[in-house]
C-alpha cells in the first residue's frame, strides 16, 4: 500500500479551511455534555451570600480546566474532545487568574494612562489575550504568560495568522453576546441563566480549540513538540491519497478491500464526491443494488446539504434505474429538486419526482406547488393538456384556500385557451 509514503508537515490543514469544524467542535458529545452540565451547575450561584459566589467560581475553574484540556489536546493533533481530565486542578485556576489579571491590567491602563494611549494599550491587551492564554495552558507559568515580551514573541513568530485568530476570538465573543442578548429576554430567570452560561461555555470551548489548532499548525515555529505525530492533511490531498490506495487494491484484484476502505472513510468523515462516486462504481461492479440504494439515500442528503442539486438529480436518476420508488427522504427536498430539474430541462425527471407526492404527503403545503409545476410540464413540455387540466382541477378542489390559488386560477384560464372555444364552452 502507498499509505507508507511520507507526509509533509505543510500537509496540516490550515485553520482557515476548518472554521466550520472549529465552530461546531463543542457539539461533539463529550464537549456538549461538559458545557451543558457546567451551565446547569451555574444555578448554584443562586445560593445565598458567599456560598453562591464560591460555587460559581469553582464552576468557572472547572470549565477553564476543561477548556485547557481542549487546547492542549488540539495542540497535539487530537481533534476529538478530551474524555475526563488528564491535568491537575492548577490548570483551571491558572486560567481564571490569567483572565482576572488581564482584566485588571486593562482597567489600570484605562485608569492611569492618558486616553489616546489608553485606547492603544487596551487594544494591545485584547490582541494579546490568545497568546497569553496559549502560553499559560502549555507552559503552566502565569507570570511568563503575563509578560508583554512573551506576547510579542508569539506574535512575531506566527505573524498574520496570529492576528487572524485574535480577530476570530473577538468574533466568537461578539457572537456569544449577540446570542445571549437575543435569547435571554424570552426566557424565565433560572432557564435564562442556564442558557446564558451554555452559550458562554460553547464560545469558550470553540475559542480554546481554535487556539490549540493554531499551535498545532505552527508548532515548529513555536518550538512546540507535538506528542502525536499524525498530521491532518488538506481535504484534497487526503482524498486523492485515499483514492490512490483504493486503486492500488483494485489493480491487485482486491476490490473488496478497496470497497471497505472507501466505506470506512465515508462512514467516519463523510468524504468528498470523488470518493462516493468511486465507492458506487465498486458496488455496481459486483451488482450490489441494495447497498447502492442505501448509500444513495445517505449520499443524496449530503449533496443537497452541499447545494449540489445537479449531482443530486443525477444520483436520483441512477437510483431510480434500480428502483422506481426511490425518492428523496424529505418532502422539502422533493420540491426543491423537482423545480431544479424543471429549470435544467429535465422535465421527465421533474414529473417522476413529483408523482405521488400527494399520496405520500397529503397535508404538506408543497402539494399545490408541486402539482402546479407538474401541470405546467404536462402541458408545455409533453402536450398533455387534458392531464394538466385534470391536475389543476384536483389542486383547486383539494386546496381552495391555498396562497397559490391566484396563480393556479391564472394557469387554469391559460389551459382553457389551449383547449380552444369548444373546450372552454364545455367546461363552462
pLDDT tens track for 270-313: 667 778 888 888 888 888 889 888 888 888 888 888 788 888 89
**pLDDT-derived band of residue 230, with 50, 70 and 90 as boundaries?**
very low
Mean pLDDT, rounded, of the chain: 81
Write down the pLDDT at residue 176.
86
Write down the pLDDT at residue 201.
93
Q: What angle do CA 355, 360, 363 make, to 5 degrees?
A: 110
Judge contact between 423 and 386, C-beta under 8 A. Answer: no
Write down the pLDDT at residue 87.
53
DSSP per residue, 369-401: HHHHHHHHHHHHTS--HHHHHHHHHHHHHH-TT
373 in the Ramachandran plot: left (φ > 0), alpha (ψ -120 to 50) or beta? alpha
pLDDT, tens digit, for every residue of 246-262?
777 777 777 888 888 88
**pLDDT-derived band of residue 419, with 50, 70 and 90 as boundaries?**
low
Write down the pLDDT at residue 229.
45
**pLDDT-derived band of residue 239, with 50, 70 and 90 as boundaries?**
low
Nearest residue to 313 via CA among 324, 304, 322, 325: 304
Number of other residues whose CB lies within 10 A of the CB of residue 427: 12
Write down the pLDDT at residue 1.
30
Greatest mean pLDDT among 161-165, 326-330, 340-344, 411-415 lies in 161-165
Provide mean pLDDT across the span 115-121: 84
Nearest residue to 134 via CA among 61, 70, 80: 70
Q: Residue written as cell 481542549? A: 70
Write down the pLDDT at residue 90.
67
Write down the pLDDT at residue 164.
92
Q: How far is CA 221 from CA 213, 226, 230, 246, in A?
A: 13, 12, 18, 35
pLDDT, tens digit, for every residue of 349-386?
888 888 878 788 877 878 888 888 888 888 888 888 88
Write down the pLDDT at residue 88.
53
Whole-number Å distance between alpha carbons of 240 and 194 = 45
**pLDDT-derived band of residue 2, with 50, 70 and 90 as boundaries?**
very low
Write down the pLDDT at residue 114.
86
Whole-number Å distance between alpha carbons of 226 and 89 = 23
pLDDT at 10 over 50: no
C-alpha cell at 385: 393538456
Listed in sequence order, the residues at least 6 apart from 59 whose beta carbon sits closer than 8 Å to its beta carbon are 38, 41, 42, 44, 45
Write down the pLDDT at residue 89.
55
Number of other residues whose CB lies within 10 A of the CB of residue 247: 13
Judge contact between 375 and 392, C-beta under 8 A. Answer: yes
Write down the pLDDT at residue 32.
92
Write down the pLDDT at residue 247.
78
Write down the pLDDT at residue 199.
92
Whole-number Å distance between alpha carbons of 161 and 219 = 13
DSSP per residue, 405-418: HHHHHHHHHHHHHH
Whole-number Å distance between alpha carbons of 281 and 287 = 10
Write down the pLDDT at residue 38.
92
Write down the pLDDT at residue 125.
87
C-alpha cell at 116: 489616546
pLDDT, tens digit, for every residue of 396-416?
888 888 888 888 888 888 888
pLDDT, tens digit, for every residue of 54-109?
988 888 888 888 888 888 888 888 888 887 655 555 666 787 788 888 889 888 88
Write down the pLDDT at residue 425.
42
Alpha-carbon Rg for the chain, nearest whole angstrom, is: 30
Q: Which helix (H) or strand (E) holds 4?
A: none
Amino acid at each position: 500500500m502507498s499509505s507508507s509514503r511520507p507526509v509533509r508537515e505543510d500537509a496540516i490543514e490550515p485553520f482557515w479551511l476548518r472554521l466550520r469544524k472549529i465552530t461546531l467542535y463543542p457539539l461533539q458529545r463529550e464537549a456538549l455534555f461538559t458545557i451543558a452540565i457546567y451551565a446547569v451547575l451555574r444555578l448554584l450561584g443562586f445560593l445565598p451570600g458567599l456560598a453562591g459566589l464560591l460555587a460559581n467560581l469553582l464552576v468557572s475553574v472547572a470549565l477553564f480546566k476543561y477548556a485547557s484540556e481542549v487546547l492542549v489536546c488540539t495542540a497535539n493533533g487530537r481533534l476529538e474532545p478530551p474524555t475526563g481530565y488528564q491535568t491537575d486542578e492548577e490548570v483551571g485556576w491558572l486560567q481564571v487568574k490569567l483572565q482576572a489579571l488581564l482584566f485588571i491590567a486593562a482597567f489600570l491602563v484605562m485608569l492611569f494612562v492618558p486616553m489616546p494611549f489608553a485606547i492603544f494599550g487596551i487594544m494591545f491587551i485584547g490582541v494579546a489575550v490568545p497568546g497569553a492564554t496559549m502560553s499559560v495552558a502549555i507552559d503552566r507559568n502565569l507570570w511568563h504568560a503575563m509578560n508583554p515580551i512573551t506576547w510579542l514573541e508569539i506574535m512575531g513568530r506566527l505573524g498574520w495568522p496570529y492576528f487572524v485568530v485574535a480577530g476570530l476570538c473577538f468574533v466568537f465573543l461578539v457572537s456569544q453576546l449577540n446570542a445571549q442578548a437575543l435569547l435571554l429576554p424570552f426566557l424565565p430567570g433560572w432557564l435564562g441563566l442556564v442558557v446564558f452560561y451554555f452559550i458562554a461555555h460553547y464560545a469558550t470551548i470553540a475559542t480554546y480549540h481554535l487556539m490549540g489548532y493554531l499551535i498545532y499548525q505552527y508548532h515548529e515555529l513555536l518550538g512546540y513538540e507535538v506528542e502525536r505525530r499524525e498530521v491532518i492533511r488538506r481535504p484534497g490531498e487526503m482524498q486523492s491519497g485515499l483514492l490512490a490506495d483504493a486503486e492500488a487494491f483494485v489493480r491487485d484484484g482486491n476490490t473488496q478491500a478497496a470497497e471497505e476502505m472507501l466505506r470506512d472513510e465515508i462512514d467516519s468523515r463523510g468524504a468528498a464526491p470523488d470518493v462516493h462516486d468511486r465507492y458506487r462504481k465498486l458496488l455496481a461492479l459486483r451488482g450490489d443494488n441494495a447497498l447502492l440504494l442505501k448509500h444513495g439515500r445517505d449520499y443524496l442528503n449530503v449533496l443537497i446539504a452541499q447545494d449540489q442539486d445537479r449531482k443530486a438529480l443525477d444520483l436520483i436518476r441512477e437510483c431510480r434505474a434500480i428502483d422506481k420508488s426511490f425518492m428523496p427522504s424529505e418532502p422539502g427536498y422533493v420540491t426543491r429538486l423537482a423545480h431544479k430539474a424543471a429549470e435544467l430541462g429535465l422535465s421527465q425527471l421533474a414529473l417522476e419526482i413529483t408523482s405521488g407526492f400527494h399520496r405520500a404527503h397529503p397535508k404538506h403545503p408543497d402539494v399545490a406547488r408541486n402539482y402546479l409545476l407538474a401541470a405546467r410540464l404536462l402541458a408545455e413540455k409533453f402536450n398533455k393538456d387534458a392531464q394538466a387540466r385534470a391536475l389543476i382541477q384536483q389542486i383547486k378542489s383539494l386546496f381552495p384556500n391555498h396562497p397559490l390559488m391566484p396563480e393556479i386560477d391564472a394557469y387554469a384560464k391559460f389551459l382553457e385557451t389551449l383547449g380552444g372555444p369548444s373546450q372552454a364552452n364545455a367546461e363552462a
